[in-house]
Amino acid sequence: MSENTCACTQPKEEVAEWLNSVEYKEKNFSRKALAINPSKACQPLGALLCALGIDGCLPFVHGSQGCAAYFRNTLNRHLREPVPTVSDSMTEDSAVFGGQANLIEGLKNAYQIYKPQMIAVFTSCMAEVIGDDLNAFITNARNAGSVPQDFPIAYAQTPSFVGSHITGWDNMFKALLQSLADPRHGRWTNGRLYVVPGFDAYPGNLREYKRLVSSMGIPMTMLPDASEAMDSPHTGEYQIYPGGTPMSELADALNASGFIFMQRYSTVGSFKFVKNVQKINTEVVTMPIGIGNTDKFLMALHEMTGKPIPAELEKERGRAVDSATDAHQYIHGKRFAMFGDPDLLLGLTGFLLEMGGIPAHIVCTNGSEQFRKDIQAVLDASPFGKDCGVHIGRDLWHLRSLLMTEPVDMLIGDSHGKFDAKDANIPLVRIGFPIMDRVNLHRSPIVGYQGAINLVTMIANTFMDQTDRTCPDRLFELMR
């Protein structure tokens, strides 16, 4: 297609073919002022997930009702659970005069109707554009009698037009510590290790963390712990507050014997606050996806606490190695494309490399330059990481160009990748957030040794399913 030819005058087939060309890929990657299907959500969604992890906490959106509906809807479709959230329903008049009246009335209604133990307030675009002062507004709401003077309220500024959902999670978590945690009592500690999951919409992962840490005999608190809010039992009676980290353990968090952060990039600000400001013994690990990353996680626990790694976990590791050995021929040498959050991609890259897979295209819309350096170091340490591409700030339309011009055998990512996978005629293994077109995947862990077994099983079986569907009759066999 020539430079002077309008695509709208060409036959549909010719345009479709051009979209799959190297020429179009170069044009696609040169665009700067347009994003097409970026793989990220906005800050308040992450703040909402964080707030759900505190028992008795009511998330409160200082912004429009439509924003709150979007956050709830996205989480609801992924979890297939109700997501309790309220909003002070800012409208056009609030955009002109500010949202203080909405916040004062909204806090009053939320406190009286839903009877929470605490409220977590966070903002959307409208409140941030006009510069609403949450600290002053909440103080005025207390003085107006909307809530008692001593009622716990945490608040975070979470502008949707900066960062992404992982930034919002980080801002809300830091706000919980700053607003509601008691000051540290010198050298005295409560003897507990606080495990911080980061933005993780897999209740199966959170439960696996708790199981692994507890199996080593380490007193621990998951902070925040949204596993029950994300996956509450069906008993016939709805509970708006199904559980989470107790308020008492949040209040005592800064007296912890240590903190371990399970993600690097969704906890940047809160990690610095705990380690550098509060001077607490703190470690951060790569999300323990795969055998090698899980080994490093357990060794970090051992070094922090002195607790030995029990024999039962050594047996689990052996079973994970066995499952990888059984399935390595289906994954070794295969080319993969991946997209998602930086912490997930860093863990998945290590997992694929140890299985002999080639992560050819890694697309991270909300990745940073530090992420690029970190994941490049992981790629450089393996012979299977040679010539793999890391694309930060890119979207799923960029990914499509990569799939069409530099083909791979499989795409790994959330449900939004199904359109690219269909165009490229390759299978999609759904890992990440959100997963809206399959059920129950979030209930199975992808971390730890059991998570490694689950991932190996998903990927290898998907390849075998693809072979059965596409092979000629003469190669359609009972065994694979």
pLDDT in tens, 9-48: 678 889 989 999 999 999 999 999 899 999 999 999 999 9
Residue 186 or 72, more confident: 72
Q: Is the pLDDT reported for residue 7 higher than 70? A: no
Q: Is the pLDDT reported for residue 4 higher than 60? A: no
Query: Which one of 1-5, 40-44, 473-477 scores highest in mean pLDDT?
Result: 40-44
Residue 8 is predicted with a pLDDT of: 59
Mean pLDDT of 228-246: 95
d(C-alpha 404, C-alpha 420), whole Å: 9
Q: Residue 6 — very low, low, confident or very high, per pLDDT cuts 50/70/90?
A: low
Mean pLDDT of 437-459: 98
pLDDT in tens, 73-100: 999 999 999 999 999 999 988 888 889 9
d(C-alpha 302, C-alpha 285), whole Å: 13
**Element (DSSP H or E) covering residue 115:** none
Residue 97 is predicted with a pLDDT of: 83
DSSP code for 443: G
Q: Is the pLDDT reported for residue 205 higher than 60? A: yes
Comparing 14-18, 135-139, 152-156, 215-219, which segment has the lowest mean pLDDT? 14-18
Residue 187 is predicted with a pLDDT of: 81
CA 145 to chain centre: 37
DSSP track, 363-426: EETT--HHHHHHHHHHHHTSGGGTT-EEEET--HHHHHHHHHHS--SEEEE-GGGHHHHHHHT-
Residue 1 is predicted with a pLDDT of: 53
Residue 3 is predicted with a pLDDT of: 54
d(C-alpha 411, C-alpha 65), whole Å: 35
Q: Would you say 378 and 350 are in contact if contact means Cβ atoms under 8 Å apart?
A: yes
Domains of the chain: 43-180 (3.40.50.1980), 193-312 (3.40.50.1980), 324-474 (3.40.50.1980)
Task: List active site positions.
Answer: 125, 129
Residue 286 is predicted with a pLDDT of: 98
pLDDT in tens, 298-307: 999 999 999 9
- 30-33: long-range contacts, CB 8 A cutoff, minimum separation 24: none
Q: Is the pLDDT reported for residue 386 higher than 70? A: yes
In a 3-state reduction of DSSP, which class is residue 239?
A: coil
